[in-house]
Chains A and B, each alone.
Chain A
C-alpha cells in the first residue's frame, strides 16, 4: 500500500468509512501488535494495547497529517498505552507466564557464539531486554525491531533526538554487559577462523 493510497484511506476513514479504517488496521496491526508484544512480553497485554491503539487512532484521525505515514503515529499511541499497561502490571506484580516458563527451562550450556544460532541466546537477549528500564527497552525495540530512525523514535517518544541517542547507547551497553556476564558464566571456548 503506497503513501498515497494510505492518505486516501485516512481521508475516507475520517468521513466515517469503517471499511477504509479496516484496511488501515490490516496494514498496521501486525507491527503495532508485535512492537507491543516485544515491549510487554505478554500476548494478552499486546492485544489490549493494539485494540485500544486503533480505537484511539480512529477517534483522533482528524488530528493526523493525512500525507504522513501512520506508522510512527500509531506507534506513539501504542508505546504510551504499553507504558500504562506495564506500569499497571508492575504495580500488580504480574510476571508473564510465558517468561516464567522460559526461566524455568533456562539452562545455558553452550558458548555464546554457538548459542547465537540456538534459542538460548535469543532468550538471553530477550530476557536482557526485559531487564532494561522501560525507556531504554522501548528505544532499543523501536530502533532494532521497528526500524525507525532516530527522528521518528524522538517523535514516537516525544523527546529530543539526543535523548533517544543516549538511551540507545546506554541500552546497548547494559544489554552487552548482561550478555557478556552470561558468556563469562559459560565454559571458555575459542574459535578459530
Chain B
C-alpha cells in the first residue's frame, strides 16, 4: 500500500503526542532542594512572611532586561547600518549656475533685395513659361 507520508492519522498523532511527552520528561526529577524548601516552609510558616516574591522572580526580570537590551542593540545596529548605507549612496546634485536672461532689443527686419514678391513671381512666370495661358486668351 502506498500512501503519503505527511498525512498523519489520529492513531499516529496520539502515539506521537504520548511518545513526545514521555521522551520530553523522562528522567526529569525535581532537585532534592525542592523538598528541603517545602519542608522548611511547612515547618516554619514565618518564612513565607518574608517571601513576598518568588526566589525565581529575579530571573524573570533579569531575562526581560537582557532581552530588552539585546533588542535595543539590534535596533541600534540596524539603524546605524541603514544610516551608513544611506550616506554612502547619497548623490550630490551639482550646483546649477543662475541663469540670467537679458532682453535684447530686436532689430527691424530688413529683407534683402532678392526677396521674392508676388509681383516678381508673376513676372518670372510670364517670362519662363512658353505657353502662357494669358497669351492664348
Question: Counting CB contacts under 8 A, is A44 at the interface?
Answer: yes
Partner of B19, one of A48, A122, A129: A122
Question: Counting CB contacts under 8 A, is A163 at the interface?
Answer: no
Please tell me if the beta carbons of B42 and A18 are within 8 angstroms of each other in the complex: yes
| Complex CA–CA separation, A192 to B7 (angstroms) | 14
Question: Counting CB contacts under 8 A, is A66 at the interface?
Answer: no
Partner of B5, one of A52, A89, A122, A183: A183
Chain B residue total in the interface (Cβ 8 A): 45
Residues of A close to B35: CB separation below 8 A: 22, 25, 29
| Complex CA–CA separation, A112 to B8 (angstroms) | 8
Partner of A51, one of B18, B24, B34: B34
Question: Counting CB contacts under 8 A, is B86 at the interface?
Answer: no
Question: Counting CB contacts under 8 A, is A167 at the interface?
Answer: no
Q: Is the interface of A mostly helix, strand, loop or mixed?
A: helix
| Complex CA–CA separation, A114 to B25 (angstroms) | 22
Residues of B close to A190: CB separation below 8 A: 2-5
Give the contacts of B43-85 with A (CB-CB under 8 A). 43, 48, 54-56, 59-61, 63-64, 67
Please tell me if the beta carbons of A183 and B8 are within 8 angstroms of each other in the complex: yes
| Complex CA–CA separation, A113 to B48 (angstroms) | 50
| Complex CA–CA separation, A191 to B9 (angstroms) | 14
CB-nearest residue of chain B to A58: B42
Question: Counting CB contacts under 8 A, is A189 at the interface?
Answer: yes
Partner of B22, one of A88, A112, A145, A192: A145
Please tell me if the beta carbons of A188 and B4 are within 8 angstroms of each other in the complex: yes
Q: How far is the CB of A144 from chain B (nearest CB, A)?
A: 5
Please tell me if the beta carbons of A180 and B34 are within 8 angstroms of each other in the complex: no
Beyond the given pairs A33-B29, A188-B5, 20 more chain A to chain B contacts, judged by CB atoms under 8 angstroms and listed by A's residue number, are: A18-B39, A25-B38, A33-B28, A34-B25, A34-B28, A37-B28, A38-B25, A44-B59, A45-B56, A47-B31, A51-B34, A51-B37, A55-B48, A92-B64, A114-B5, A125-B20, A144-B14, A176-B13, A190-B3, A191-B2
> What are 23 of the A-B contact pairs (CB < 8 Å)?
A18-B42, A29-B34, A37-B28, A43-B28, A46-B30, A47-B34, A58-B42, A59-B42, A94-B59, A94-B60, A94-B63, A111-B6, A112-B5, A112-B6, A116-B12, A125-B21, A126-B24, A172-B10, A176-B10, A183-B6, A184-B6, A188-B5, A191-B5
